[in-house]
Structure 1
C-alpha cells in the first residue's frame, strides 16, 4: 500500500514540475493571440517574460506548435508593446492574421519565426 502511495505522489510531483517549466527557472512567454485556419495554418503571438534573452526567445520559437504541410508564423513581443491579442483569433484567414503582426501598431515584436510547409524555420530577429 505504501509503494502505491509513493508512486502516486511521485507522479504528482513530476506533473507539477512539467507544468511549471520543468524547474528550469526560465519563465516562458505568455500567449496573447492565436489563429488557426481551416487548413491548419497557425499564427501565434506571445509576450516575453522579464529578462528573456534572444537565445531563450529563439529556443522557444523553435518549439512552437507546427504540423508538416502547414504554415506557422509566431512572434514574441516585449512587455508593454501593443499586440493584436484576441483580434488575431477572429481574423478571416491566415494571410490576414499574419498581416496583423507586420502592420502598425502591432509590428513591434522582437523575435519571430516562420515555419514553412516542409518544416524549415526562418527566424526573424528585429
Structure 2
C-alpha cells in the first residue's frame, strides 16, 4: 500500500477528518480564478501578462490578488530578476505541481460532463 493510499484510508476512516481535509483544500483553492491560474502555470513559468492573456476575462487587479494569495499559501513561487526593466516570473511550487493529477481528473470529468450535457440538451 502506497503512502497516498494509507493517508486516504486514514482520512476516510473518519467523516469529520475527510470533511476537514476537503475544507483545507477548498480554503487554498477558493474563488473563481485560482484553479485557472494554477492550470496555466502547469504548462511552465509565466510572466504576469502571459497569464493575463491565457485566462479569459480575468482583470489585472484580480490576477495580482490571486497570485499573492497563492504565493502566501505556498502554491506559487514568484521570482524577480534584476534586469532593466525588472522581469518577474511565476511558477508552481512542489505543492502546486502536486495538483496536476487533480486538475487532470477535473478536466476529464468536465469534458465528459459537457458531452453528456450537450447530448441531453438535444434530446
Q: What's the TM-score, normalizing by structure 1? A: 0.30
Decide which structure has greater helix share. Answer: 2
Q: What's the TM-score, normalizing by structure 2? A: 0.31
